[in-house]
Amino acid sequence: MAATQLHLFEVATKTYHQTVSFPSRAVDIGDVTFLDGQKEPVHRWFRLTPSYSPALVRFLIEHLDCNRTTLILDPFLGKGTTLIETKRHGLPAVGIELNPLLKLAAEYALTWEVNGAELEAFVRSQLARIRAAIAQHHQKSLEEVVASYGLRLPAIHNVFRWWRPEVLKDLLLVRREVFSIEEVAYRQLFWLALAACALDCANVHRNHPTITFDDDHTRQIDVLRDFEAKIRRMTDDLCDLALSSADFGQTSVILGNSVHLADYVSQVDRVITSPPYPNRFSYVHTTRPQLFFMEIFNAAHQSADLDCQAIGGTWGRATSELYAAHLEPEAAIASILQPLSLELRQRSQLMHNYAIKYFNMLYAHIESLRKVVRRPFRGAYVVGNSRLSGVEVHTDVLLARMFEQCGFKVDEILILRKRGGRKKLFETAVCISL
Ligand SMILES: C[S@@+](CC[C@H](N)C(=O)[O-])C[C@H]1O[C@@H](n2cnc3c(N)ncnc32)[C@H](O)[C@@H]1O
């Protein structure tokens, strides 16, 4: 860590110790954001800006004393950072994710049981087919290609604002080839590269945490080059993994809602996870281009429906519904949420409802966790504090109190890194046991 950053971190930590009543301490494991993962094998295959770093997962695996007999759960799996690490460490784990695009991205990123030499040969021949398909249609328009193969344009609103017609034409030609691959493992790997490519080739700001259009860009977009680079990187990583001869852990990835854990898992020994933060970030909104391009969704209402079920940020219809709702904290956590509820209600009905829905759903998740854990249980929830309508939301402290309310012991709150240079914003891990 640079000296100024270290100073900020120390100051922040001191302030923090004064504000929380739980045991807390700072641990310096460097940047815990997604950026670190972009430099690591497998993690770099798919980009999700709110994901956490592989180094943080490695730290938590040790900190929580995980071993080959402990079943680890990540109930908010995202793109699978936790399971990629547990698999590498030979540890059994289950991941649950609500968003079908992210569920598939995580599942396919765990497709490691391939033969390196056979994969290389397959990639060579498949890329040659894709290159030929694109060359063959070079002079044709998007409409001609769509008509000649009976293809469908992504059912997303304003499709040409997302992709230029010539870019979309190439993406659709690649998709046609990828969807027709018969070998399941290879199709999954190519699918993952294409899903990542679809966003990287869209007219959006790519380094932004949330999605915004980049209407005036002059960026050269070359679908084939981008796709080939991704597939080659994946092939390199898989060949290295095959050489490592490691004993990989068992993993399973489930599409589900972690407010109802008992529907999917039992006998969980550890949790390593990062739920959404109360910061207005909508995972459905940011994955929309891929959900529609990969034909997971074919009707516009599907993304709004999913957004209504998710914990955390909303957009569009889900936000309108939230605005109109009359929400109160659940009875069991009313005293924990009351000060926040009173303060937010005076400032903004929407932010009030947003925060109350967020914590009510997290509490429902904690109650469902209580039913599926096996003692001695330990867990770590990585969260960030937020500011809503000028009101500080101490997510970690509220979460810790909710865990206590449900019978868990809060061992400590680890302070990981101060985010964004703004005072009093922290990334912390709430460590619990039973
Ligand atoms: C902070 S992200 C997790 C990122 C993950 N740690 C990674 O490194 O990729 C939180 C995830 O929770 C998911 N989510 C939101 N509500 C959910 C629910 N009710 N059940 C399961 N997953 C949910 C979101 O779709 C999102 O992928």
Q: Return the domain boundaries, the chain.
A: 3-112+248-433, 116-244
Contact 350/280 with Cβ under 8 angstroms? no
Residue 253 is given by DSSP the state E
Contact 163/203 with Cβ under 8 angstroms? yes
pTM, two decimal places: 0.94
pLDDT tens digits, one per residue of 282-300: 899 899 999 999 999 999 8
Most confident option among 6-20, 231-245, 400-414: 400-414
The number of residues making up the chain comes to 434
Please give the share of the chain, as a percent, with pLDDT higher than 90.
Answer: 75
Other C-beta atoms closer than 10 Å to the C-beta of 267 total 9
Q: Closest ligand 1 atom, CA of 37? A: 8
CA separation for the pair 11, 13 (Å, rounded):
5
pLDDT of residue 20: 64
Contacts of 310 (CB under 8 A, 6+ apart): 98, 99, 276, 282, 283, 284, 318
pLDDT of residue 3: 46
Contact 59/414 with Cβ under 8 angstroms? no
pLDDT of residue 341: 97
Residues of the chain by 3-state class (helix, strand, coil), percent to 5: 50, 15, 35
* Mean pLDDT lowest among 162-166, 213-217, 347-351, 394-398: 213-217
Q: What are phi and psi of 375, to 5 degrees?
A: -80, 145
pLDDT of residue 427: 87
Contact 79/270 with Cβ under 8 angstroms? no
pLDDT tens digits, one per residue of 102-135: 999 999 999 999 999 999 999 999 999 999 999 9
Contact 83/253 with Cβ under 8 angstroms? yes
* Among protein residues, the one whose CA lies closest to atom 3 of ligand 1: 78
**Ligand 1: which of 36, 44, 76, 305 to mutate, judged by most atoms within 8 Å of the beta carbon?**
76
CA separation for the pair 373, 393 (Å, rounded):
28
Other C-beta atoms closer than 10 Å to the C-beta of 425 total 16
The per-residue pLDDT of the chain, averaged, comes to 91
pLDDT of residue 18: 52
pLDDT of residue 242: 84
For residue 376, whether the previous peptide bond is cis, meaning omega lies within 30 degrees of 0, is: yes
Using the predicted structure, report yes or no on whether residue 45 has a pLDDT greater than 70: yes
In the block, residue with structure tokens 């046609």: 176
Contacts of 296 (CB under 8 A, 6+ apart): 100, 101, 104, 290
CA separation for the pair 404, 410 (Å, rounded):
7
162 confidence band (pLDDT: 50, 70, 90)? very high
pLDDT tens digits, one per residue of 167-191: 999 999 999 999 999 999 999 999 9
CATH superfamily of 3-112+248-433: Vaccinia Virus protein VP39 (3.40.50.150)
What is the mean predicted confidence (pLDDT) over 30-51? 88
Residues with CB under 6 Å of ligand 1 are: 48, 50-52, 76, 78-79, 81, 96-99, 102, 257-259, 274-276, 283, 310-312
More confident residue, 204 or 63: 63
What is the 3 state secondary structure string of 397-409?
A: HHHHHHHHHCCCE
Strands 373-384 and 386-388: unpaired
pLDDT of residue 6: 47
Please give the share of the chain, as a percent, with pLDDT higher than 70.
Answer: 92
